[in-house]
Structure formats: C-alpha cells, structure tokens
C-alpha cells in the first residue's frame, strides 16, 4: 500500500509541476508528453532499470528524437539530471538520467505531511 501511495503522490507532483508551470512557447501536447515520460521514467527507476535514451526507447518504442525532445524538456525543467557516461560498449558516450533531488525532496515532504495527518 505504501508503494501505491508513493506512486500516486509522484503522479500528482509531476502533474502539478508540469501543467501548472508551462515553459515559454510550450504546447499542451508537449506538457502531456512530459507527464507520460516522467511516469515511465519513475516506473523504470523503481524497477532499477538504467535511465538512458536507449533504454527509454526500448520501453516506449519511440524514436531517439522523440525520446530526446521530451527528456530534454524535463532536464530543462530541473526534473531530471543528466550525466554523460561511457556507453555499454565502453567506446562512446551515452546520456544517463536520474530523477532530480529537488523533485524527490518535494515528494518526500509531501509524504511526510500526509503521514502526519
């Protein structure tokens, strides 16, 4: 039950963060894509899957460009952190993502306030 509440709280938080704080020149469609992408990324994170463009592409069946456009907006919002790491072959680079500490802190404070009610 705790996991379900945590997931529900995360969904509410990302809805609030994305829909209530649109970026300049951002379409409603782009915001909805971000909500969906954050939901998928959160699920992948909970399953301890790597958060790279390639792994997100595998889960979503989107093109690299489709994933990149949406993930870049989430990085711009500060919801995801990006680091450059060696790719799985060790020769090139890959973009690795993680849910930002700031977003996780907001989620944690929400859960703490719910627990005190």
Q: What is the CATH number of the domain that holds 10?
A: 1.10.10.10
Contact predicate 52/96, CB 8 Å: yes
Q: Domain count of the chain?
A: 1
Mean pLDDT of 33-57: 95
Q: Which helix (H) or strand (E) holds 53?
A: helix 53-60
Q: Is the pLDDT of residue 12 over 60?
A: yes
- pLDDT confidence of residue 51: 96
pTM over 0.95: no
- pLDDT confidence of residue 1: 58
Could you give the percent of the chain with pLDDT greater than 70?
A: 91
- pLDDT confidence of residue 112: 65
Q: Is the pLDDT of residue 115 over 60?
A: no
Q: Is the pLDDT of residue 87 over 90?
A: no
CA distance 110 to 89: 40
pLDDT grade for 8, boundaries at 50, 70 and 90 = confident
Q: Is the pLDDT of residue 63 over 90?
A: yes
Task: Please give the backbone phi and psi of residue 115, each rounded to the nearest 5 degrees, phi first.
Answer: -70, -30
Count the helices and strands in the chain (H runs, E runs).
Answer: 5, 2
Which structural domain range is residue 58 located in?
2-115
pLDDT, averaged across the chain: 89
């Amino acid at each position: 039950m705790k996991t379900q509440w945590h997931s529900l709280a995360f969904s509410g938080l990302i809805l609030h963060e994305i829909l209530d704080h649109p970026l300049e020149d951002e379409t409603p469609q782009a915001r909805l894509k971000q909500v969906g992408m954050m939901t998928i990324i959160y699920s992948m994170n909970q399953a301890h899957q790597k958060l790279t463009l390639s792994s997100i592409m595998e889960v979503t069946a989107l093109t690299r460009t489709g994933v990149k456009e949406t993930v870049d907006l989430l990085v711009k919002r500060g919801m995801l952190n990006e680091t450059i790491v060696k790719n799985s072959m060790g020769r090139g680079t890959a973009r690795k993502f993680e849910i930002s500490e700031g977003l996780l802190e907001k989620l944690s404070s929400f859960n703490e306030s719910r627990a005190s009610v």
